[in-house]
Chain A
Amino acid sequence: MSGQHHPSADILAAYASGVLEPGFGLVVAAHVDGCAQCRRQVASYEAISGDALCEIDDAAMGDDALSRVMSRLDGAAPEKLAMDRRPFAERLTLKPRKWVAPGVWVAAVETPHARTNRVYVLSVAPGMPTARHEHSGAEFCTVLKGAYRDELGLFRAGDFAATDHDVNHQPVVQGDEACVCLFATEGRLQPQGLLGRLAFAYADV
């Protein structure tokens, strides 16, 4: 699936150099996993970094480094590691789902990330109003399943959205299946209204 909405070149470059916060990197990975176009772009950034690696100033290894490493090599030939070919969404480790409203569940993603960030999967059934909310910081989102529409357009499975703190939006689920999205959010979510806040507090995200 190659969607219509891709991470910007800046975001892909940051992802390729490993400097994105873990939760945010995970959301980019969810998109890149299914997008050949972005995979090629990431690969080209990695190639540039690989060339830079060859040009970097050497930092001498310890005298016994080689022998220590050699002693750690497994006996026979290295084994080919099996690729995990499950869909990206199935490779995520989720905490238990919490129903925060009829037809709406949230599950925190088990990934080490900064205490001030939230990383979670949100599933919203069609016909359910989502909480209009503001962001106190950046938010990355990749649609895992289903589709939603907001002021920025239609977002389907595989599509990526990055929003900033000044966005106040209200996505609407499209089609007849639940829309499941992976989010990384910086700072506290600011759903408007008491119920929205309660729901997110209750869900520990």
Chain B
Amino acid sequence: MDDCADISDEALLTQIAAGNRVAFSSLFGRYASKVKGYLIKLGARGAAAEDLAQDVMVSIWRRAASFDPAKAKASTWIYVVARNAWIDKLRRERVELAYRDTLIIDEASDEELPDDAVSRVQTEAQMAEALELLSEEQKQVVRLSFFEDRPHSEIAEHLSLPLGTVKSRLRLALIKLRAHWEQMK
């Protein structure tokens, strides 16, 4: 089966980098089932393990030119390609990004170099003034949410308010504070 039986893995990768498909099918014979076994060990199941192992073999073809036999053995390099494919798969599956459930202000691009802000000094006491801008109702939800770290649903229950009201109060409070902070950045 292996037309290149007496050729080292490293030499095969070098030939693959030059576009040699025979060398690739030899390397496939040596490594594809190992890669699949490794992915199964990591937790890949059934058809997913097969598909991902095939993807890894395609990546090996595409990236072969970056293999440097002076730096790593072929097995090390192939391991790294397989490991990275697994990490990427996990990343793709994790669509949910880390947002607090308090993400209630819309994005607005506020690019400014940090150096612009360096010269301005404010004290924490001045920061606290910002809080005084809020209505009592807003302060109340702000304190419960951020100081006592209570979930919105619990605050709603505690204050006998609809959840939507709690969220909109927080949102307005943060918009006010934001406007204040923006002035002094």
Residues of A within 8 A of B (CB): 17-18, 22-23, 25, 43, 46-47, 49-54, 56-62, 65-66, 68-70, 72-74, 76-81, 83, 95-105, 108, 110-119, 123, 125-127, 129, 178, 180, 188, 194-195, 197-198, 201-202, 204-205
Given contacts A95-B107, A197-B149, contact A53 B21 (CB under 8 A): no
Within the complex, the shortest CB–CB distance from B6 to chain A, in Å, comes to 18
12 contacts between A and B (CB under 8 A): A43-B76, A47-B75, A53-B35, A59-B40, A60-B33, A60-B36, A80-B17, A103-B118, A112-B94, A115-B99, A119-B98, A194-B143
B35 (CB) vs chain A CBs: closest residue: A53
Report whether B174 and A65 are in contact in the complex, using a CB–CB cutoff of 8 Å: no
What separation, in Å, do the CA atoms of A22 and B50 have in the docked complex? 24
Report whether A50 and B77 are in contact in the complex, using a CB–CB cutoff of 8 Å: yes
Contact of B98 (CB < 8 Å), options: A18, A96, A105, A118: A118
Within the complex, the shortest CB–CB distance from B167 to chain A, in Å, comes to 13
Report whether B35 and A99 are in contact in the complex, using a CB–CB cutoff of 8 Å: no
Query: Count of B residues near A, CB < 8 Å?
Result: 91
Report whether A112 and B121 are in contact in the complex, using a CB–CB cutoff of 8 Å: no
Q: Which 4 A-B pairs have the closest CB atoms?
A: A77-B19, A50-B76, A50-B75, A80-B65
What separation, in Å, do the CA atoms of A60 and B36 have in the docked complex? 8
Within the complex, the shortest CB–CB distance from A119 to chain B, in Å, comes to 7
Report whether B54 and A68 are in contact in the complex, using a CB–CB cutoff of 8 Å: yes
Report whether A25 and B87 are in contact in the complex, using a CB–CB cutoff of 8 Å: yes
A99 (CB) vs chain B CBs: closest residue: B185
Q: Which residues of B contact A201 (CB under 8 A)?
A: 100, 102, 145-146, 174
A120 (CB) vs chain B CBs: closest residue: B98
Within the complex, the shortest CB–CB distance from A102 to chain B, in Å, comes to 4
Report whether B124 and A50 are in contact in the complex, using a CB–CB cutoff of 8 Å: no
Q: Which residues of B contact A188 (CB under 8 A)?
A: 149
18 additional contacts (CB under 8 A) given A73-B61, A194-B142: A22-B94, A47-B75, A52-B79, A53-B34, A56-B34, A66-B28, A69-B57, A74-B62, A78-B19, A81-B62, A98-B110, A102-B122, A103-B120, A112-B95, A126-B118, A194-B147, A202-B181, A204-B103
Report whether B97 and A110 are in contact in the complex, using a CB–CB cutoff of 8 Å: yes
Given contacts A78-B17, A108-B98, contact A47 B76 (CB under 8 A): yes
A60 (CB) vs chain B CBs: closest residue: B33
Against A, the Cβ 8 Å flags (1 = close, 0 = not) of B107-119 are: 1111110110110
Report whether A100 and B181 are in contact in the complex, using a CB–CB cutoff of 8 Å: yes
Report whether A198 and B114 are in contact in the complex, using a CB–CB cutoff of 8 Å: no
Chain A CB within 8 A of B12 CB: no
Within the complex, the shortest CB–CB distance from B105 to chain A, in Å, comes to 7
Report whether A197 and B146 are in contact in the complex, using a CB–CB cutoff of 8 Å: yes
Contact of A22 (CB < 8 Å), options: B65, B84, B90, B128: B90
Q: Which residues of B contact A117 (CB under 8 A)?
A: 98
Report whether B146 and A194 are in contact in the complex, using a CB–CB cutoff of 8 Å: yes
Report whether B121 and A61 are in contact in the complex, using a CB–CB cutoff of 8 Å: no
